[in-house]
Structure 1
Amino acid sequence: MTTTRFAPSPTGYIHVGNLRTALMNYLIARKAGGTFILRIDDTDPERSKEEYVDAIKQDLDWLGLHWDRVERQSDRLDRYAEAADKLREMGRFYEAFETPTELDLKRKKQLNMGKPPVYDRAALNLSDAEKDALRAERGNGVWRFKLDHERIEWNDGILGEISIDAASVSDPVLIRGDGQVLYTIASVVDDTEMGVTDVVRGSDHVTNTATQIQIIEALGGACPRFAHHSLLTGPQGEALSKRLGTLALRDLREQGVQPMALLSLMARLGSSDPVELRSDMAELIDGFDVTRFGSAPTKFDVQDLFPLTAKHLQSLPLADVAEAVADAGVPADLAEPFWAMARENITTLADLKGWWDLCRDGAEPLIADEDRDFVAEAVALLPEGPFDGETWGKWTTAVKDATGRKGKALFMPLRKALTGMERGPEMATLLPLLQVIRARS
């Protein structure tokens, strides 16, 4: 059975970059009728916060990305310890004691000699006595996985055939000196024991994948199918990393972005398929194919979300937005005609209040000097209320007959006089609401 996972660290709010990974894994699982696991990678006790665990769940719920079960790495530390012991017994795990400064000097020396800056495995030559002396002086060392120096190859679901020479990669640190288990081994143990069959993540993890494949094989596990999606950039191709703090999902939600608009964009961005607004999750699932995504950096512009949000809102019945309409102050008996008027003229639901304010309070008339006599004559011809959907047409016909004006010269001054704006809703739908509210005041 197909099993995927989304594995955020609860050290902050999830952003659009995280969402891309979550959504792809979710869609793969749902399309195959499989399992989607939410795995909380909380092995760092200092940086992991419960408030972020809750926030991650809230954001995924808002988007409709519902998981089948939750796993927490902090509950599985014994499993990682067992895997570490197994690697030690196999001679694939060794303790190293270099300080960050010493490692940096080694890298600079290698680069000056034209060699790749790879850890030189000096720790393998330490005697037991030397190790004991270093522990007494510096404390426990880090534990590194000893890579087999051979080519590591896999067929990536997005990047195609990948081949990496393990000799060009440093033996990865899997456990820190303070005992903290790092992502590389924890993820391998989890993916293996939880039966994860497909892993989609960012292209910045390609080297991690190479080392993890060797760790999986050393521990006797089965390698999942890997796919590495491109990284997002800003609209001009600039690095997005410094802006991700302003692109948290909860910030987009606060700005009025609708879930289906965000999901529709992220499910196609960077693929060979055009971005199209989808009506529901089933459409997204049915049309998803990870192999249609490319490897080139993918431009993301938050402004692209707002036309999609507006289009999505236009498709909704009143029942789906009734709470927002009520929150704008619209009486229940006017909700239906108000939504019919406003839906084509909003970008987010926050815009509803402005339209209700206009209906309830009216607007400062916008009348050019040359139109003052015309508007005064037109207002005198305005019939008694209440108004309905035919009132605007009948009124403007009467004004045309009386003044001889027609087209834009007829309609624009009247719109501006009634709404204070040059454009907006169909006046036939807006005028009844203006009149009804005035009649009530």
Structure 2
Amino acid sequence: MTTTRFAPSPTGHIHVGNLRTALFNYLIARKAGGTFILRLDDTDQERSKEEYADGIKRDLEWLGLNWDRVERQSLRLDRYAEAADQLRANGRLYEVFETPTELDLKRKKQLNMGKPPVYDRAGLNLSDAEKDRLRAEGREGYWRFKLDQERIEWVDGILGDISIDAASVSDPVLIRADGQVLYTFASSVDDTDMAVTDIVRGADHVTNTATQIQIIKAIGGTPPRFAHHSLLTGAQGEELSKRIGALSIRDLREAGVAPQALLSMMARLGSSQPVELRMSLDEIADGFDLSQFGASPTKFDAEDLWPLTRERNQHLPYAHVKDRIAALGVPADMAERFWRVASHNITKLDDLGEWWRIFHQGAEPQIDPEDADFVAQAMTLLPPPPYTDATWGEWTAAVKQATGRKGKGLFMPLRKALTGQGFGPEMADVMPLLQVVKARG
């Protein structure tokens, strides 16, 4: 049984980078008919907040990334303590006392000597008496995992063959002095207990993966298959980290981005396949192939979401927007026509409100000075509402005959006078919706 997981920390809103991780793991599970777990990494009690946990669920539900079950790491602290005792008994977890300043000095000394800046394992040589003395000085011990200093190898689903020399990596801290279990440890225990078979995450986790493979083996588990997707950059190759808050799923949703646009882009960005709109997750899953993705940093431009959003919105059936249109106050007998006319001239669904304002309240006319006399004469030939499908053709024919104007010189000034826009739907379709014409006055 294929089992994947998405394990965000509820310490903020998830963003586009998190979404790639969630989506890839979701698609792998769904294509295999497996299980997708939402696992909240909430062991940091100070920073984890329920509002963020709820926000993560809300974002995933909006995208349609429905999970099979929810797990919370804060409810598994006894299990982590049990696993830690197992590692201590096997000599794989040892207590250390260095302060951040001492560690920094050690790293600088190693670098000056041309050595890799890895932890020197001084904590392994401390006697019980020395540990007691350090505690008496007010120091608090924390716990490191003792790596087997050998090569750690795996076949990565995206990066290919990976080989990391564990001797070049510091023994990772698994438990802080205040007792907080860190991600590297909790995640390894969870992945083992929950029989996770496949993990996709960002390329910045490659070294974590190497250490977690050893941790999983040390607690008696079988490491899952790993794949590491490229990291996103801005459109110019800049780091996204400084403005990632503006790229939260919540903010993109509130800005009017369509979920299908976001999913379609994230399912292809960084792969050899073109980004194309897909209207359902089933369609996205059908075309998803992890082997098509590369390792190079991937440029992401939020502006590229708008053409996809426009395409998605223009494909929506009337039934999908019926309630939204009714909420605008569009009469029931006009509602379907209004959608048919306005749908091809919007990007966001919120744009419908402006079109209804134009039709219902009348637009502020745009009249170029050279067209003022022409428009004034034309308006004397326009009857009052209501209008029909034939009104535009009949009116422009009468204006043409009276003024001699034709082509763009005839049609564009009249469009701008009635709608305030130099673009938009076919005017023959617009006229039956126009309830007020301000240019008349």
Report the TM-score when normalising by structure 1. Answer: 0.96
Distance 1:195 1:104 in 2: 38
Distance 2:35 2:437 in 1: 53
The match for 2:301 is 301
User: What pairs with 1:84-163 in structure 2 (closer than 5 Å)?
Assistant: 84-163=84-163
Closer/same/farther in 2, CA of residues 200 and 84 from structure 1, 3 Å limit: same
The match for 2:170 is 170
- Which is worse superposed, 428-437 or 102-111? 428-437
Partners of 1:234 and 1:299 within 8 A in 2: yes
**Structure 1 residue 305: deviation in Å?**
1.0
Q: SS at the partner of 1:12?
A: coil
The match for 2:281 is 281
Distance 1:385 1:323 in 2: 26
The match for 2:13 is 13
Closer/same/farther in 2, CA of residues 209 and 9 from structure 1, 3 Å limit: same
**Structure 1 residue 435: deviation in Å?**
4.1
Confirm whether residue 428 of structure 1 aligns to residue 425 of structure 2: no
Q: Which residue identity does 2:202 align to in structure 1? A: G
**Structure 1 residue 374: deviation in Å?**
2.5
The match for 1:360 is 360
Q: Deviations over 1:235-273 (max 9, x none)?
A: 111000111111111111110111111111111111111
The match for 1:39 is 39
Q: Which residue identity does 1:114 align to in structure 2? A: G
**Structure 1 residue 135: deviation in Å?**
1.9
The match for 1:23 is 23
Q: Which residue identity does 2:204 align to in structure 1? A: D
**Structure 1 residue 383: deviation in Å?**
4.7
**Structure 1 residue 307: deviation in Å?**
1.2
Distance 1:218 1:384 in 2: 83
**Structure 1 residue 162: deviation in Å?**
0.5
Confirm whether residue 263 of structure 1 aligns to residue 263 of structure 2: yes
Q: Which residue identity does 2:107 align to in structure 1? A: R
Q: SS at the partner of 1:138?
A: coil
Q: SS at the partner of 1:161?
A: strand
Distance 1:253 1:154 in 2: 38
Q: Deviations over 1:86-107 (max 9, x none)?
A: 1111111110010010000000
Q: Which residue identity does 1:61 align to in structure 2? A: E
Partners of 1:40 and 1:71 within 8 A in 2: yes
User: What pairs with 1:214-253 in structure 2 (closer than 5 Å)?
Assistant: 214-253=214-253
What residue ranges of structure 2 are gaps of 5+ in the alignment? none
Say how many residue pairs are matched.
438
Partners of 2:5 and 2:39 within 8 A in 1: yes
Distance 2:366 2:53 in 1: 52
Q: SS at the partner of 2:44?
A: coil
Q: Deviations over 1:100-153 (max 9, x none)?
A: 100000000000111110000011111111011112223431111111111100
Partners of 2:362 and 2:436 within 8 A in 1: no
The match for 2:66 is 66
Q: SS at the partner of 1:236?
A: coil
Q: Which residue identity does 2:151 align to in structure 1? A: R
Distance 2:77 2:256 in 1: 40
**Structure 1 residue 57: deviation in Å?**
0.6
**Structure 1 residue 367: deviation in Å?**
2.2
Distance 1:393 1:38 in 2: 58
Distance 1:80 1:370 in 2: 79
Partners of 1:139 and 1:177 within 8 A in 2: no
Distance 1:240 1:321 in 2: 34
Distance 1:293 1:390 in 2: 54
The match for 2:395 is 395
Q: Which residue identity does 1:372 align to in structure 2? A: A
Partners of 2:202 and 2:230 within 8 A in 1: yes
Q: SS at the partner of 1:221?
A: coil
Distance 2:14 2:176 in 1: 26
Report the TM-score when normalising by structure 2. Answer: 0.96
Give aligned-pair identity as a percent. Answer: 74
Partners of 2:6 and 2:37 within 8 A in 1: yes
The match for 1:373 is 373
Q: Which residue identity does 2:267 align to in structure 1? A: A
Closer/same/farther in 2, CA of residues 96 and 407 from structure 1, 3 Å limit: same
Q: SS at the partner of 1:153?
A: strand
What residue ranges of structure 1 are gaps of 5+ in the alignment? none
Distance 1:247 1:108 in 2: 37
The match for 2:318 is 318
**Structure 1 residue 385: deviation in Å?**
4.6
Distance 1:138 1:255 in 2: 51
Q: SS at the partner of 2:337?
A: helix
Q: Which residue identity does 2:188 align to in structure 1? A: V
Distance 2:119 2:303 in 1: 44
Q: Which residue identity does 1:84 align to in structure 2? A: A
Distance 1:280 1:181 in 2: 39
Q: Deviations over 1:350-404 (max 9, x none)?
A: 2111111111111222223332333233333335653222321232233323333
Distance 2:370 2:14 in 1: 56
Distance 2:182 2:307 in 1: 42
**Structure 1 residue 436: deviation in Å?**
7.7
- Which is worse superposed, 120-129 or 372-381? 372-381
Q: SS at the partner of 1:418?
A: helix
**Structure 1 residue 406: deviation in Å?**
1.6
Q: Which residue identity does 1:306 align to in structure 2? A: W
Distance 2:227 2:180 in 1: 28
Q: Which residue identity does 2:331 align to in structure 1? A: P
The match for 2:56 is 56
